[in-house]
């Protein structure tokens, strides 16, 4: 489960800050000691962070970005009518046909019967109905109706329909994500403790379920003399580590449920955690996302004043 392929070119998305100075009275908990980079070549941290964040915002605001997400409907076993009428089991946005069709869940498979007079496409080709591939079976079948696109997702034993709209209000009204000033002090080098045996990382989700992710080990780092640990996950074949963490800035300055972070694979037992690239999960932008939450051991008793801040009132 790759959770973070979320990476406008708008200058509002990323101000060009100077290096951070710790606020008065917070030095011990906000500004870690400068650490040496493992890279031999000079690093223009501010420019590289800005370029990374611009790509992240471009993805977020794209036709397929999280800002287009306008609905998530869980299917019951059997028939599920869908369309804009309130009489449907799955109520789609206004402006769509009163009844688009019927989604049938049976034996872990979803099929679609299109209502008379409704024209849908699947992956750009006319579609009159049939079986639908969900997102755990590779690329899901993408159905389109006007500016809407929808597809089947599977979360554990639950099946749902995720709905996106390129004309979504959230996308039209997007005004950028505020960030902390870039600081070399928050690009922290730590040691990597590999797992001695294959292990799974139990990750709770906003759905109340628990996902088990492959975990190759633990990143251990020190801030102001205090050691901290973060269990990481990695998909097979992926060339980066993925980290879900929370810290003491959550709910006030950063998103309440925590943030995400990628890190390059360890070298010589060392791992670099660049918290300037800590970013908000999809749930910070849409109530229809199915986000993972930080596992208990990744809840840092530390103010990580780096990376993305809260978006709007989320």
Q: What is the pLDDT of residue 269?
A: 97
Does 138 share its domain with 193? no
286 and 183 within one domain: yes
pLDDT at 9: 25
34 within some domain:
no
Q: Is residue 5 part of a domain?
A: no
Which residue range(s) make up the domain with 281? 11-22+42-61+177-298
At residue 43, the pLDDT reads 79
pLDDT of res. 246? 98
Positions of the chain with pLDDT under 70: 1-42, 314
CATH number, position 124: 2.60.200.20
Same domain, 49 and 87: no
Residues 109 and 88: beta-carbon distance below 8 Å: no
Instruction: Compute and round to an integer the Cα radius of gyration of the chain.
Output: 22
Note whether 185 and 210 are same-domain residues: yes
Assess contact for 257 and 293: CB atoms under 8 A.
yes
48 & 187 share domain: yes
Both 158 and 181 in one domain: the answer is: no
pLDDT value for 38:
44
Give per-residue pLDDT as tens, 13-42: 333 333 333 333 333 334 444 444 444 456
Q: Quick one: pLDDT at residue 22?
A: 35
Residue 284 lies in a domain: yes
State which of 107, 138, 172 marks the end of a domain: 172
Question: 192 with 57, same domain?
Answer: yes
Does a structural domain hold residue 136? yes
Same domain flag for 99 and 246: no
Last residue of a domain, one of 172, 199, 215: 172
What does pTM read for this prediction? 0.83
Based on the fold, state whether residues 140 and 194 are members of the same structural domain. Answer: no
* Number of domains making up the chain: 2
Last residue of a domain, one of 172, 204, 239: 172
148 and 278 inside one domain:
no
Same domain, yes or no, for 55 and 88? Answer: no
Q: Are residues 57 and 187 in the same domain?
A: yes
Q: What is the pLDDT of residue 237?
A: 87
């Amino acid at each position: 489960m790759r959770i973070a392929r979320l990476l406008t070119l708008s200058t509002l998305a990323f101000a060009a800050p100077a290096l951070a100075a710790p606020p008065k009275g917070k030095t011990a908990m906000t500004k870690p000691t400068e650490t040496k980079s493992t890279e031999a070549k000079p690093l223009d941290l501010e420019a590289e962070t800005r370029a990374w964040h611009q790509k992240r915002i471009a993805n977020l605001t794209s036709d397929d970005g999280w800002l287009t997400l306008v609905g998530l409907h869980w299917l019951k076993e059997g028939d599920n009518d869908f369309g804009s009428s309130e009489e449907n089991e799955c109520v789609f946005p206004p402006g769509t046909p009163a009844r688009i069709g019927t989604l049938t869940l049976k034996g872990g498979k979803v099929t679609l019967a299109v209502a008379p007079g409704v024209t849908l496409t699947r992956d750009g080709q006319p579609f009159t109905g049939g079986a639908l591939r969900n997102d755990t079976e590779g690329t899901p079948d993408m159905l389109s109706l006007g500016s809407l696109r929808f597809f089947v997702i599977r979360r554990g034993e639950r099946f749902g329909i995720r709905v996106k709209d390129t004309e979504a209000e959230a996308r039209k009204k997007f005004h950028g994500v505020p960030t902390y000033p870039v600081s070399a002090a928050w690009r922290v080098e730590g040691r990597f403790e590999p797992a001695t045996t294959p292990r799974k990382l139990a990750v709770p989700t906003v759905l109340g379920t628990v996902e088990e992710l492959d975990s190759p080990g633990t990143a251990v780092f020190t801030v102001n003399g205090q050691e901290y640990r973060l269990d990481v996950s990695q998909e097979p074949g992926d060339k980066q580590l993925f980290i879900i963490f929370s810290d003491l800035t959550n709910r006030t300055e950063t998103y309440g449920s925590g943030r995400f972070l990628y890190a390059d694979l360890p070298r010589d037992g060392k791992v670099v955690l660049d918290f300037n690239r800590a970013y908000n999960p999809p749930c910070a932008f849409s109530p229809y996302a199915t986000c993972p939450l930080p596992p208990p051991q990744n809840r840092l008793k530390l103010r990580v004043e780096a990376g993305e801040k809260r978006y709007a009132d989320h």
